[in-house]
Amino acid sequence: MRRTAIGMSFLLILLTCGCTALGRDIEVSSLMQKKRHHEAIRILQGDLDAKADVSSFQLYLLGGAYYEIRDYERMLKTVDLMERKIAGGDVEIYGANLSPYPGIMRGYAYLDQGEYEKAVRTVSEASALLNRIGQRSNGFYHSQLIEINGILGFAQANLNRKRDGIAVKKRLGALDLDRDVREFRTALTDPASRDHMLRSQDLYRKLIGPVAFSMPGRARSSPRSGKWTIGRRAT
């Protein structure tokens, strides 16, 4: 989640900027917000196929679009590309460090597919990376922390590791909710982070219980064969 200092002027700055890359970010983010995932894929995958320069943030959006339609194979390939792009130095976007996202996104895919050990391993690596980056230099720190521990919590529960699951709940319970609520509200100005933000809320609610956030959440998780998974219907 971005720092409040960026504030509500964020989207206005983007809209008045003539940079093609930023314009592309807004275009695709808007499609994602409207659940027009196939259109977002057509644009960004088209850029990739044309050998255009695609940023790590745009690969994050493309991977997210593939996740939404449950194309895990293409999602994971896109995440691999994103990871290489980040390793090449394309790390930050709008005050946020993207480095933990490859692990987080893989964790979502593995969790959906019932590969709980893989989910634990990959988000544990993302957690270690997040801790190395630190909070001050990462505007998405709290959101990433919630997602990492949310995936861990679901995976540990499905592996019947109650002690580990309780430890996850305690870590999440120690978060400053008032600050998180303010950051969530600020993020309303950014279509690119809104869906990401709501997913984090859903994870938090499932693990901690009802939380008095300022916005209505969207229940997306559902039990399959007696086990909890993260996911939505493909659109």
- Give the contacts of 166 (CB within 8 A, at least 6 positions apart): none
Between the CA of residue 142 and those of 27, 35, 50, 97, what are the distances in Å? 26, 25, 36, 12
Final residue in a domain of this structure, among 40, 65, 90: 90
- Confidence bin at 230 (pLDDT 50/70/90): very low
In a domain, 116, yes or no: yes
Q: Of residues 212 and 203, which shows the higher confidence score?
A: 203
Question: What is the reported pLDDT for 88?
Answer: 96
One domain for residues 116 and 169: yes
Domain end position, chosen among 90, 116, 139: 90
Residue 126 has φ and ψ, to the nearest 5°, of -65, -35
In a domain, 96, yes or no: no
Statement to judge: residues 125 and 205 lie in one domain: yes
Host domain of residue 132: 103-209
Question: What tens digit of pLDDT does each residue of 117-156 get?
Answer: 999 999 999 999 998 887 776 777 878 888 888 888 888 8
pLDDT, mean of residues 191-201: 52
Element (H, E) at 97: strand 96-97
Reading the block at residue 76, the tokens are: 């994971």
Is residue 110 domain-shared with residue 199, that is, in the same domain? yes
30 occurs within a structural domain = yes
For residues 27 and 62, state if they share a domain. yes
Q: What is the pTM of this model?
A: 0.69
10 part of a folded domain: no
Specify the number of domains making up the chain.
2
**Are 115 and 204 part of one and the same domain?**
yes
- Please indicate, yes or no, whether residues 36 and 73 belong to a single structural domain of this protein: yes
